[in-house]
Amino acid sequence: TNSFVLALNDAWQDQIAGLDEWKIPGFASQTDFYRDQAAEYRRKDQKVAVIISDAFRFEVGEECLRRIRALDRFDAELKPMISAVPSYTQLGMAALLPHGTLSLAEDGSGDVVSDGANTKGLAAREKILAAGREGDSAKALKAEEVMNMRADEGKALFRDHHILYVYHNRIDAIGDKLQTEEQLPEAAEDTIEDLTKLVRKLTSANFSNILITADHGFLYQHRALDESDFAIADPQGDEILFRNRRFVIGRGLAPTPGMKHFDAAALGLSGGLDVLIPNSINRMRVKGAGSRFVHGGASLQEIVIPVIRVGKQRETDVGQVDVQIFVSGRNLISSGQTAVTLYQTQPVSEKMRPRELVAGIYASDGTLISDEHTLMFDFRSENAREREMPLKFLLSREADRFNNQDVILSLRERVGKTSVYQDHATQRF
């Protein structure tokens, strides 16, 4: 809820207020991403694909992790990374590339310069990426281009390049427009679906090392904003070059109540510009811009971004839970009903899926002689007792024909989408 986000970031603001420079000890920094994570594979002479999804917030990354882990033969791990500040697209994208120094453009465009070169656009990013390691063949392209590739084109992409940066944009594209920002929750769900498909596409092209990350996160609230959600601060300085809901870039910006002031050096940037960021989750008023979806500031939702490391296994590692039958006492039905306990041997997880079974008691010729139960075994508890299912069967009149004969309690499973069933577990009485 918005009250939780506000309280959390008010407390976080107390920590930011004491910072002299933008460094969060103990956490990976976005500005070191290429050197410490992407180039790690290249130092081992392994190829790597990096997917950068615009505004891919950490919580969305958590759900994406679960979806990827549920895929057969896929493994993935998630770690947090702290984005550059201001947490906006141009700086985040530049920070993820190899670089020596980064600086904010002084022409009011909001662009970012890396070692003297503008980082805007695919062509510029590809050139910078190729310069990261001598001899590397690099490619920067949009996610749609990858998804539209034929199988042979994907394999050629892997064959001809050492490092790939794939740019995906759904959350930011929807959230940044006033007309569509209310569709943000659906865009987050679609992003998870997109990235899962993209991972499968890249692995089918032989990429086995994949990193997924973001340029920045975002703040979002579904209801309309109150007056109290806007900063009352009025930024002042020698020259204001760039301004949006969550930050201001300028020259000689004056310290302003209700805002955190950073000079370029404190943000790890070169140049002589200053940055002002509204405290907590407050927005500044900007004519014509949406205000429910914002980024650029230093709230936890904006600056904590995911890094998902995806690997592909050689053997299948996805299965279904097993179910066993336990009978207390003798295996004898002496009345019109009988009770058993069914036990799900493993908890459901990303790699262990639920199992649906049909339970009934049958004569040796296959005649059903009890009521029949359709059961879903989807217990997630690590506690074995919480994965037990007591079950009672009532015998039908048909059972009288089979007195003093062996009968079978069968847990049967449907074969695919057919009308055929096969035994999963049986117990003879």
Burial class (CB in 10 A: 0-12, 13-18, 19+), 106: middle
User: Would you state the pLDDT for residue 62?
Assistant: 97
For residue 390, is the peptide bond before it cis, meaning its omega torsion is within 30 degrees of 0? no
Confidence (pLDDT) at 334: 72
Identify which has the larger pLDDT, 287 or 310.
Answer: 310
Burial call 236-262: b when 16+ CB within 10 Å, e when fewer: ebeebbbbbbbbbbbeebeebeebbbb
Q: Is residue 227 pLDDT above 80, yes or no? A: no
- Angle of CA points 197, 202, 204, to nearest 5°: 95
pLDDT category at 290 given cuts 50, 70, 90 is low
Q: Where are the domains of the chain?
A: 2-225+280-312, 319-428
Q: Rounded to whole angstroms, how far apart are CA atoms 196 and 55?
A: 16
- Work out the average pLDDT over 192-220: 96
Task: State residue 70's pLDDT score.
Answer: 87
Output the CA–CA distances (angstroms, integers) from residue 190 to 1, 50, 200, 219, in the order listed: 22, 19, 16, 18
In percent, how much of the chain has pLDDT > 90?
A: 70
pTM of the shown model: 0.79
Stretch 372-400: mean pLDDT: 90
pLDDT at 419: 86
Does residue 1 have a pLDDT over 60? no
- Tell whether the model's pLDDT for residue 54 goes beyond 80: yes
**Would you report the helix, strand and coil content of the chain in percent, each value rounded to 5?**
30, 30, 40
CB neighbour list of residue 118: distance below 8 Å, 6 or more residues apart: 105, 111, 112, 124
Arch. (CATH architecture) of 319-428: Sandwich (2.60)
- Run of H or E including 393: strand 388-394
Q: In the chain, how long is the greatest CA-to-CA distance?
A: 99
Span 105-149, pLDDT tens digits: 999 999 999 999 999 999 999 999 999 999 999 999 999 999 999
141-175 as b/e: b if 16+ CB within 10 A: bebeebeebeeeebeebbeebbbbbbbbbbbbebb
pLDDT at 143: 98
The band of 319, judged by pLDDT with boundaries at 50, 70 and 90, is confident
* pLDDT, mean over the chain: 92
Task: Read off the pLDDT of residues 33-52 as tens digits, 9 standing for 90 and up.
Answer: 999 999 999 999 999 999 99
Average pLDDT for 360-364 = 89
**pLDDT of residue 288 exceeding 80:** no
Q: How much of the chain exceeds pLDDT 70, in percent?
A: 98
Span 205-218, mean pLDDT?
96
More confident residue, 338 or 55: 55
* Predicted confidence band of residue 9 (pLDDT cuts 50, 70, 90): very high
**Spelled out in words, what is the top-level CATH class assigned to the domain 2-225+280-312?**
alpha beta
| pLDDT higher than 90, residue 177 | no
Q: What is the mean pLDDT of residues 86-98?
A: 98
Read off the pLDDT of residues 233-281 as tens digits, 9 standing for 90 and up. Answer: 789 899 999 999 899 999 999 999 999 999 999 999 999 999 999 999 9
* E-only strand ranges, 162-273: 163-168, 209-213, 219-220, 237-243, 248-253, 259-263
Q: How big is the chain, counted in residues?
A: 429
